[in-house]
Amino acid sequence: MTELTAEPSSEILVEIYRKMVQIRLNDERFISMMKAGKMVMPYYSARGQEAIPAAISVQLELTDYLVTIYRGIHDMIAKGVPPKLIWAELAGRSTGACKGKGGPMHITHPKSGCMVTTGIVGAGIPIGCGLALAAQLRGETRVTVTNFGDGAANIGAFHESLNLASVWKLPVVFVCQNNRYAEHTAFSKGTSIERVADRAKSYDIPGVTVDGNDPLAVYGAAKQAIYRARAGGGPTLIEAITFRFNGHLIGDMGEYIPKAEYQAALAADPYPKYRQWLLDHGHATAATLEALEGQVKAEVDEAVKFAFDSPLTDVAEIKRDVYAEAAA
């Protein structure tokens, strides 16, 4: 685990863990509900990537903006989107974050700052610049955190966005969650350089690569980037190296991933490692962590009940909020 000069308090460190537990337990329940045939959806699990949004979001306000992708429920949970609204959305219920019309890939919840989730690879990056520009023009201190994958860093919109954000000093933090695969293509087969963060140099902005499985490393990089953005210093690119344990989407058996690589990634799973680190360094007792895990489990049970007790979204509702209403 990285040593920071000013380590966050035990309270913050445990809060990061709480977010990681929320992400993991919700993810496990989504998958078990799918396996039981109770939910049918394209689901892109972020198991293995929990440390990244947990360590970033603990430093954000609810009013800060979040942009994420189809593999983004971990980002939303960490940012503060209530899990019950996510559950109801995934289950196609009228009480969902988008009234059951967004599904797992297109959730927004502006009250929690979750502004855009897109399935078009790279498309959210310029939208994040637009949100940051709006905040800048309004004179707000709001920061936009824009998440995307390693594959998206090869899309033209990524380059255009970094350039524009640099020129206009936009208050944005670009977070590339490099899980080493884009669908079934290994990072090295589709990317010309070893580190995505090195591309920041072309746009004269700071770029840093961190171990995305190390909450302290992510916390430290995000702290500087968020501070810089809030202070009017402009954007930063953070590349967080991680792995997604459940393939591209549920059903992907991962045959294209070398076994040794997968085993090594599993051994670096941030979830049990961080739990042990908290105990070893005296930031929490086993009893505290067990109680926290129990609370999160109860919260998941409640969210599932809320979703399945809610009515399915009415067919008449489908076109509402999609097209502008014609003036009478």
Site for ligand TPP in 91-110 (CB under 6 A): none
For tokens 């991962």, what's the residue?
Answer: 254
Site membership for ligand TPP, residue 179 (CB under 6 A): yes
Under rule CB under 6 A, how many of the chain's residues touch ligand TPP?
A: 13
Cα–Cα distance list, 67 to 50, 154, 232, 285 (Å): 16, 18, 20, 35
Antiparallel, parallel or unpaired: β 172-178 and 181-182: unpaired
Site membership for Mg ion, residue 179 (CB under 5 A): yes
Pick from 126, 151, 212, 235: which binds ligand TPP (CB under 6 A)? 151
Binding piece for Mg ion, criterion CB under 5 A, among 5-13, 89-97, 148-156, 294-302: 148-156
If the CB atoms of residues 185 and 288 are measured against ligand TPP, the closer one turns out to be 185
CA 51/CA 270 separation, integer angstroms: 7
For tokens 């967080």, what's the residue?
Answer: 240
Binding partner selected for residue 152 from ligand TPP, Mg ion, none, CB under the kind-specific 5 to 8 Å limit = ligand TPP
Site membership for ligand TPP, residue 43 (CB under 6 A): no
Q: CB within 8 A of 116, min separation 6: which ones?
A: 67, 68, 108, 124, 127, 128, 131
Site for ligand TPP in 199-218 (CB under 6 A): none
* Cα-only R_g, the chain: 19
Q: Which amino acid is at 308?
A: F
> What residue is closest to Mg ion based on CB?
149
Binding partner selected for residue 71 from ligand TPP, Mg ion, none, CB under the kind-specific 5 to 8 Å limit = ligand TPP
Name the token pair of 44.
Answer: 């892109």
**Closest distance to ligand TPP from the beta carbon of 125 (Å):** 11
Under rule CB under 5 A, how many of the chain's residues touch Mg ion?
A: 4
CA 267/CA 11 separation, integer angstroms: 27
If the CB atoms of residues 15 and 252 are measured against ligand TPP, the closer one turns out to be 252
Q: What is the four-CA torsion angle of 165, 105, 307, 62, rounded to 10 degrees?
A: 0
CB 16 within 8 A of CB 50: no
Binding piece for ligand TPP, criterion CB under 6 A, among 33-41, 178-186, 251-259, 295-303: 178-186
**Closest distance to ligand TPP from the beta carbon of 21 (Å):** 21
Site membership for ligand TPP, residue 124 (CB under 6 A): no
Name the token pair of 126.
Answer: 């310029």
If the CB atoms of residues 191 and 313 are measured against ligand TPP, the closer one turns out to be 191
Site membership for ligand TPP, residue 72 (CB under 6 A): no
Max Cα distance, the chain (Å):
66
Site for Mg ion in 182-241 (CB under 5 A): 182
**Helix locations, the chain, DSSP H:** 10-35, 51-57, 73-79, 83-90, 124-137, 156-167, 187-190, 215-230, 259-267, 270-280, 286-309
**Closest distance to ligand TPP from the beta carbon of 79 (Å):** 17
Binding partner selected for residue 121 from ligand TPP, Mg ion, none, CB under the kind-specific 5 to 8 Å limit = ligand TPP
Return the sign of the alpha-carbon dihedral for residues 83, 146, 111, 233: positive
Site membership for ligand TPP, residue 182 (CB under 6 A): yes
**Closest distance to Mg ion from the beta carbon of 242 (Å):** 9
Site membership for Mg ion, residue 149 (CB under 5 A): yes
Rule CB under 5 A: which residues touch Mg ion? Answer: 149-150, 179, 182
Rule CB under 6 A: which residues touch ligand TPP? Answer: 71, 119-121, 149-152, 179, 181-183, 248
